[in-house]
Amino acid sequence: MAPVTYDDIVEIRANDPARIARAVGQRRRPTPDPDRKLLIIAADHPARGALAAGPRAMAMADRRELLGRIAEALNRPGVDGFLGTADLVEELALLGALEGKLVYGSMNRGGLAGASFELDDRFTGYDAAGIADSGLDGGKMLLRIDYEDPASVATLEACAHAVDDLAREELVAMVEPFLSHRVDGRVRNVLSPEAVITSITIASGLGRTSARTWLKLPVVDEMERVMASTTLPSLILGGEVSDDADSALAGWGKAVSIPNVKGLVIGRALLFPPDDDVAGAVDAAASLL
């Protein structure tokens, strides 16, 4: 299917919506290389109402700019795939940006940033059936656990069911776990080695099988000790946009040298780097792999 322009997307949505499913389902699939570590571009924050990147509060608000930055990143050598919600997956497929790429659907986006119900993170995005029907490669879920917030157990249960549902479809379940707490009413993730290790052990036990479970983890101190807590394949997330890009790269590079780390899943840090050089930021990350 021939790719379209940005200006065509609205008309296709209005007058030929069936074309959207065809664009996603008929995309050219990648040839797996088990010896290669992955670089996945992530952009699922907007569906949670999180539009900031670094000091720019509304960085991800302009849809055309966001799509352009993602498409530029996906076009760089060494980039293997994309992680996002259905709206972005569909528009990128129409633009032809997902040809030959892995694609992971983002599942629970209901824990809106800053909301009182943020930790009751409902599955308002993809479900396992939708991921399978669209021919995607797996689903990603966010699991934040606050021992003082009863809403966390609902998210924990929902993630366990999602792991089961994805396994039934023979698809990857990518779990992003954190221990979290509220500081001045805002949810903050605890990034000590001990907290990340504990979150890993909780995520590893979700569902009736862990055979297709992968983890999505932050870079923290003592990464070798952290990664020794699991045998699950793991991908390293990029986190917030840092003014010190060299330090962020060094942390990612150290993490991907650990055998059970299978690559990077990075979003805003590559799409909205401090110098606005998307291609340069992506190429620097790809060089680590």
Give the total number of structural domains in the chain.
Answer: 1
Quick: pLDDT tens for 185-194. 899 999 999 9
| Residue 34 domain flag | no
Q: Which of 230, 229, 281 is nearest to 252 (CA)?
A: 281
Its sign, for the CA torsion 263, 176, 60, 182, is negative
| Residue 107 domain flag | yes
pLDDT values of the chain reduced to their tens digit, one per residue, 289 residues: 678 899 999 999 999 999 999 999 999 999 888 888 999 999 999 999 999 999 999 999 999 999 999 999 999 999 999 999 999 999 999 999 999 999 999 999 999 999 999 999 999 999 999 999 999 999 999 999 999 999 999 999 999 999 999 999 999 999 999 999 999 989 999 999 999 999 999 999 999 999 999 999 999 999 999 999 999 999 999 988 877 888 999 999 999 999 999 999 999 999 999 999 999 999 999 999 9
| Residue 23 domain flag | no
**In the chain, which ranges are continuous DSSP H helix?**
6-15, 18-25, 63-74, 86-94, 128-133, 151-168, 193-204, 223-227, 245-256, 268-271, 278-287
| Residue 158 domain flag | yes
Helix (H) or strand (E) holding 213: strand 213-217
| Residue 176 domain flag | yes
CA distance 42 to 48: 13
CATH code: domain of residue 223: 3.20.20.70
- Identity of the amino acid at 68: G
| Residue 260 domain flag | yes
Quick: pLDDT tens for 41-99. 999 999 999 999 999 999 999 999 999 999 999 999 999 999 999 999 999 999 999 99
Its sign, for the CA torsion 40, 263, 55, 143, is positive
Q: Are 206 and 163 in contact (CB under 8 A)?
A: yes
Q: Which of 168, 123, 172 is nearest to 143 (CA)?
A: 123
- Integer-rounded Cα radius of gyration of the chain: 18
CA distance 82 to 225: 29
Domain limits at 223? 6-18+39-287
| Residue 33 domain flag | no
